[in-house]
């Protein structure tokens, strides 16, 4: 059984381009897991091994990695920094014990850094920072450190290593705490933070504090335990620095992972979906979370699990607690990008792939016996962009649906469903790059192609006044004719749709009333103004006429539809449109462009404020204007902005736009007639 104290498990996250993948490569190289350090430009890094990633020279998938350092075993995950692929990053945060945030030494804090900082905070994950690329021109360690301390906390983010030299003459890093020899020009800095670290250690425990204040020297073990406590309870965020490309500061970072990062034994317990906590031990009841699933071209489905508790062994049976089915573990695989190393067993903190499971997907909990709880479930973000899709070849609807269902299973940030009101098939994702990637997979892996178009906005129709409609349906065809007449009134009704039968004296016989109601209901889903759903209307049918031979249900349905349409047109009808709550985060310099653009989009700015060195804009914007926002924001900010949005309410479409929409619809109706 593995010694849980010797396992470290972390996620490498941050803004795209900060050097995460290169840092992972440098760590693997330094630790001897690979014999030469690959580079992004040469497309030969362990992570970013897929053709999609190599082509764009940036990560879009989370990649589990594995190496040993000083007899400790590291499981870590390289993650994408792009907002559109954040689902992969979020899933990885649920699978790891600490977040290593990489921040570029030139650009400093960016949207992607804040995003993972905040996501980690929400999940109560301790954090560590690596300031990278200090060899680059214009890299400024002290400025970036200042920015980090200003944004995330001056007493929280404490440097553990400090660079010697700058830009091309950046040559090494000195450990604030461990190195005895300190160059003169950083001496003050080192002494200041050495003291600060000692204070933080002492503060992590009352008894230590007393002894420390009495001037007593703390033992190595006490210091180490104090550091662990402080990092794990979030009162200390160690800041390391270096250059991933030039292999500077990497060994000290790896030592830091061993000495500072909590092992699963230090973490001690884990939270489950229902809020209960379980203690962690290698011989406990096995529990693991599937945080990612992929289709490997050779092996087929691979499910990546983080083991929280107990030991999983190859060639044993386990239970998928979420589906209630039994699964056989054929193989447990340690992953290094695409390199696979089968292992016989894996315990708490390990991240391994399970091959050939039959019915297991992301967010399922795997257990070795049934008497346990489901692991904490990953909360994926909702799609922010949709395409309306149709199969390129007619008759392939089922094939497209089957393939998309498979893709949704492996990437929960994709959604695929038919819209209830517009009846279009909608493919949703986190942005156009994400969606285009899905379309490419459909083509390459599942051999189906689709056409895409901008989805229709689900406008709605309602009235603001009152109206009456009278409609007579009369036709004489060959044998007996068709006859029905319906008189109705409508008025606005905030409570929704209501129907009342106010016919007296049997002018419309009772047995035809359901047909009248049906005719109106049909028009309600396909409104007379622009073919949209009608809402908040009260209808009262108060009179009509019938013919003992020629009246039929069909005739009354048609008459009701006609009367309702006429009444709608008279009752000050309006179009309503969905308005979204939008949250945009951008660096300062883009504020003017963003707010100007929001004004163009008929947006209403509800608030602005600074958050961790970036600007946050809260706005309400009609959905019709937001269809391509993921793409637009990217181009306005060179990829340095991010946004989220969710439905807020329906609101009246301004008259000029409504007139245009209605005219367009009426024109298509005429064509169809
Ligand atoms: N000069 C320099 N370039 C780096 C360093 N780390 C990464 N890069 C480069 O920055 C670019 C982005 O690196 P990558 O690892 O893909 O960043 P990621 O998106 O955070 O994974 C690549 O061209 C790397 O070669 C570094 O320490 N120094
Ligand atoms: Mg990367």
79 has a pLDDT exceeding 70: yes
In angstroms, what is the span from residue 514 Cα to ligand 2's centroid? Answer: 62
Asked if residue 163 has its Cβ within 6 Å of ligand 1, the reply is no
Pocket probe for ligand 1: among 19, 111, 242, the residue whose CB has the most ligand atoms within 8 Å is 19
Sign for the CA dihedral angle at 414, 621, 528, 494 comes to: positive
Residue 651: the pLDDT is 95
Residue 164 CA to ligand 2 centre (angstroms)? 26
Strand-pair category, 614-622 with 604-611: antiparallel
E strands, 476-550, where?
482-492, 498-501, 533-534, 537-545
Q: Which ligand is nearest to the CA of 110?
A: 1
Q: How far is the CA of 54 from the centre of ligand 1 (A)?
A: 13
Considering only CA atoms, which of 418, 459, 452 is closest in space to residue 657?
A: 459
Residue 127, SS3?
Answer: strand
Q: Encoding tokens for residue 616?
A: 């946050």
User: pLDDT tens across 27-78, in order?
Assistant: 999 999 999 999 999 999 999 898 889 988 899 999 999 999 999 999 999 9
The answer to whether the beta carbons of residues 653 and 574 sit under 8 Å apart is yes
Tokens of 534: 């009608």
Contacts of 546 (CB under 8 A, 6+ apart): 483, 484, 485, 507, 508, 509, 512, 556
Tally DSSP H helices, then E strands, for the chain.
17, 35
Q: Name the residue at shortest CA distance from atom 22 of ligand 1.
A: 40
Do 364 and 357 contact (CB within 8 A), yes or no?
Answer: no
Please, what is the angle between helix 397-410 and helix 432-444, to 10°?
A: 120
Among protein residues, the one whose CA lies closest to atom 6 of ligand 1: 19
- Asked if residue 136 has its Cβ within 6 Å of ligand 1, the reply is yes
Cα(46) to centroid(ligand 1), Å: 14
3-class secondary structure for 12-70?
A: EEECCCCCHHHHHHHHHHHCCCCCCCCCCCCCCCCCCCCHHHHHHCCCCCCEEEEEEEC
Task: Give, in degrees to the nearest 5, the angle at Cα 620 between 453 and 607.
Answer: 140
Pick the range with the lowest mean pLDDT from 165-169, 394-398, 470-474.
Answer: 394-398
Q: Alpha helix locations (H) across 268-341?
A: none
Query: 58 C-alpha to center of ligand 2: Å?
Result: 5
For residues 312 and 332, is the Cβ–Cβ distance under 8 A? yes
pLDDT at residue 52, as a whole number: 86
What domains does the chain contain, in order, with CATH numbers? Answer: 4-179+235-267 (3.40.50.300), 272-364 (2.40.30.10), 385-453 (3.30.70.870), 465-571 (3.30.230.10), 577-656 (3.30.70.240)
pLDDT band at 670 (very low <50, low <70, confident <90, very high): confident
List Cα–Cα distances, 619 to 185, 306, 622, 672, in angstroms. 48, 38, 10, 39
**22 C-alpha to center of ligand 1: Å?**
6
Q: What is the pLDDT of residue 215?
A: 85
Question: Which of the two residues, 337 and 612, has the higher pLDDT score?
Answer: 337
CA 363 to ligand 2 centroid distance, Å: 24
d(CA 314, CA 550): 77
Residue 224 has phi, psi (to 5 degrees) of -65, -45
Q: Is 11 exposed, middle or buried (0-12, 13-18, 19+ CB in 10 A)?
A: buried
CA distance 589 to 666: 45
What is d(CA 14, CA 114) in angstroms, rounded to the nearest whole number? 8
User: Residue 538, Cα to own-chain centre: how many angstroms?
Assistant: 41
| Three-state SS sequence of 431-470 | CHHHHHHHHHHHHHCCCCCEEEECCCCCCEEEECCEEEEE
Q: Best of 11, 13, 22 to mutate for ligand 1, by most ligand atoms within 8 A of CB? A: 22
Number of residues that make up the chain: 673
**CB of 20 shorter than 6 A to ligand 1:** yes
Cα of 248 vs centre of ligand 2, distance in Å, is 19
- With a 6 A CB cut-off, is 47 part of the ligand 1 pocket? no
Three-state secondary structure call for residue 309 = strand
How far apart, in whole angstroms, are the C-alpha atoms of residue 437 and residue 60?
10
Pocket lining: 362 vs ligand 1, CB cutoff 6 Å: no
Which pLDDT score, from 0 to 100, does residue 296 have? Answer: 77
* pLDDT at position 673 over 70: no
- With a CB cutoff of 8 Å and minimum separation 6, the contacts of 673 are none
Q: Is the pLDDT of residue 650 over 90?
A: yes
Write the CB contacts of 49 (distance below 8 Å, at least 6 apart in sequence). 63, 337, 338
Atom from ligand 1 closest to the CA of residue 18: 20
Average pLDDT over residues 142-146: 97
The whole-angstrom separation of Cα 516 and Cα 486 is 8
242 lines ligand 1 (CB under 6 A): no
Beta bridge partners of 418: 425
| Higher pLDDT pick, 370 / 662 | 662
Instruction: Check pocket membership of 18 for ligand 1, CB cut-off 6 A.
Output: yes
Ligand 1 lined by 133 (C-beta under 6 Å):
yes
Cβ 38 under 6 angstroms from ligand 1: no
In angstroms, the CA 113 to CA 116 distance is 6
Q: How many CB atoms neighbour CB 210 within 10 A?
A: 11
Among the listed ranges 327-331, 373-377, 665-669, which one has the minimum average pLDDT value?
665-669
Residue nearest atom 8 of ligand 1, based on CA coordinates: 19
User: Whole-structure pTM over 0.75, yes or no?
Assistant: yes
Decide whether any atom of ligand 1 lies within 6 Å of the 22 Cβ. yes
> What distance in Å separates the CA atoms of residue 407 and residue 446, rounded to the nearest whole number?
10
What is the DSSP pairing of strand 642-652 with strand 415-418? unpaired
Residue that has been written with the tokens 């008894």 in this structure: 207
Tell me the HSE value of 384 on the side-chain side, using a 13 A CA sphere: 30
CA of 464 to the centre of ligand 2 (A): 54
**Which residue, 587, 432, 567, 516, is CA-closest to 85?**
432
Reading the block at residue 364, the tokens are: 């399922």
Q: Could you say which ligand is closest to the alpha carbon of residue 246? A: 1
Q: Determine the pLDDT at residue 344.
A: 94
Model pLDDT, residue 177: 85
Q: Which ligand is nearest to the CA of 14?
A: 1
Q: Determine what percent of the chain is predicted with pLDDT higher than 70.
A: 100
634's enclosing H/E stretch is helix 629-637
pLDDT tens for each residue of 245-265? 999 999 999 999 999 999 999
Tell me how crowded residue 612 is: count the other CB atoms within 10 A of its CB: 17
- 309 bridge partner residues: 287
CA–CA dist 331, 312 (Å, integer): 10
User: How many A from CA of 364 to the centre of ligand 1?
Assistant: 34
- How confident is the model at residue 382, as a pLDDT? 87
Higher-scoring residue by pLDDT: 656, 2? 656
In the block, residue with structure tokens 């019915």:
359
The C-alpha atoms of residue 520 and residue 381 are separated, in whole angstroms, by: 38
Structure confidence by residue, pLDDT tens digits, 448-491: 999 999 999 999 999 999 999 999 999 887 677 899 999 999 99
Exposed, middle or buried, 124 (CB in 10 Å: 0-12/13-18/19+)? exposed
CA 136 to ligand 1: nearest atom? 1
Mutational pocket test of ligand 1: of 18, 20, 29, 40, the residue with most ligand atoms within 8 Å of the beta carbon: 40
Our mutation pick for probing the ligand 1 site, out of 41, 100, 245, 337, counting the most ligand atoms within 8 A of Cβ, is 245
Tokens 């985060």 correspond to 585
Q: Is 134 in the pocket of ligand 1 (CB under 6 A)?
A: no
């Amino acid at each position: 059984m593995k010694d849980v104290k010797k396992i470290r498990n972390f996620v490498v996250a941050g803004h795209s381009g900060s050097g995460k993948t290169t840092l992972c490569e440098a760590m693997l190289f330094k630790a001897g897991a690979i014999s030469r350090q690959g580079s992004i430009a040469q497309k030969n890094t362990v992570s970013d091994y897929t053709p999609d990633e190599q082509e764009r020279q940036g990560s879009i998938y989370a990649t589990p990695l594995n190496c040993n350092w000083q007899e400790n075993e590291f499981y870590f995950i390289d993650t994408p920094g792009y907002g559109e692929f954040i689902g992969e990053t979020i899933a990885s945060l649920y699978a790891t014990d600490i977040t290593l945030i990489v921040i570029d030494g030139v650009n400093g804090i960016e949207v992607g850094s804040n995003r993972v900082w905040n996501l980690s905070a929400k999940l109560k994950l301790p954090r560590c920072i690596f300031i990278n690329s200090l060899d680059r021109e214009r890299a400024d360690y002290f400025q970036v450190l200042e920015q980090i301390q200003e944004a995330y906390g001056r007493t929280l983010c404490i440097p553990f290593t400090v660079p010697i030299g700058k830009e091309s003459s950046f040559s090494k890093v000195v450990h604030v705490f461990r190195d005895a020899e300190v160059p003169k020009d950083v001496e003050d800095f080192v002494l200041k933070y050495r003291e600060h670290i000692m204070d933080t250690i002492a503060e992590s425990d009352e008894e230590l504090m007393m002894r420390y204040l009495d001037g007593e020297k703390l033992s190595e073990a006490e210091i180490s335990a104090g550091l662990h406590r402080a990092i794990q309870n979030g009162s200390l965020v160690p800041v390391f620095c270096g250059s991933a490309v030039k292999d500077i500061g990497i060994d000290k970072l790896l030592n830091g992972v061993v000495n500072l990062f909590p092992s699963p034994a230090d973490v001690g317990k884990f939270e489950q979906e229902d809020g209960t906590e379980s203690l962690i031990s290698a011989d406990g009841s096995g529990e693991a979370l599937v945080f990612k699933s992929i289709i490997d071209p050779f092996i087929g489905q691979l499910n990546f699990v983080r083991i929280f508790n107990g030991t999983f062994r190859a060639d044993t049976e386990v239970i998928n607690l979420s589906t209630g089915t039994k699964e056989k573990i054929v193989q447990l695989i340690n992953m290094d990008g695409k390199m696979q190393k089968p292992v016989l067993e894996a315990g708490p903190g390990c991240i391994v792939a399970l091959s050939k499971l039959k019915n297991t997907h992301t967010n399922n909990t795997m257990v070795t016996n049934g008497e346990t709880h489901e692991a904490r479930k990953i909360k994926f973000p909702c799609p922010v962009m949709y395409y309306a899709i149709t199969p390129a070849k007619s008759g392939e609807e089922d094939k497209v649906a089957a393939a998309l269902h498979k893709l949704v299973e492996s990437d929960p940030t994709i959604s695929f469903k038919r819209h209830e009101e517009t009846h279009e098939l909608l493919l949703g994702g986190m942005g156009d790059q994400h969606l285009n990637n899905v379309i490419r997979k459909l083509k390459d892996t599942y051999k189906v192609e689709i056409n895409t178009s901008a989805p229709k906005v689900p406008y709605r129709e309602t009235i603001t006044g009152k109206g009456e409609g009278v409609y007579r349906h009369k036709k004489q065809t060959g044998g007996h004719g068709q006859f029905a007449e319906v008189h109705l009134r409508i008025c606005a009704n905030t409570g929704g749709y209501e129907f009342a039968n106010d016919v007296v004296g049997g002018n419309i016989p009772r047995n035809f009333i359901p047909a009248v109601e049906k005719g109106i209901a049909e028009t309600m889903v396909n409104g007379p103004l622009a073919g949209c759903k009608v809402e908040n209307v009260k209808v009262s049918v108060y009179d009509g006429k019938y013919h003992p031979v020629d009246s039929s249900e069909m005739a009354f349905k048609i008459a009701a539809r006609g009367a309702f349409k006429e009444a709608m047109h008279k009752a000050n009808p309006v179009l309503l449109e969905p308005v979204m709550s939008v949250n945009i985060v951008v660096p300062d310099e883009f504020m003017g462009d963003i707010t100007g653009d929001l004004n163009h989009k008929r947006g209403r700015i509800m608030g602005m404020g600074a958050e961790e060195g970036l600007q946050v804009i809260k706005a309400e914007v009609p959905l019709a204007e937001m269809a391509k926002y993921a793409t637009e924001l990217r181009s306005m900010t060179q990829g340095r902005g991010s946004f989220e949005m969710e439905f807020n309410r329906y609101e009246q479409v301004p008259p000029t736009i409504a007139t245009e929409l209605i005219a367009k619809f009426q024109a298509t109706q005429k064509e169809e007639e």
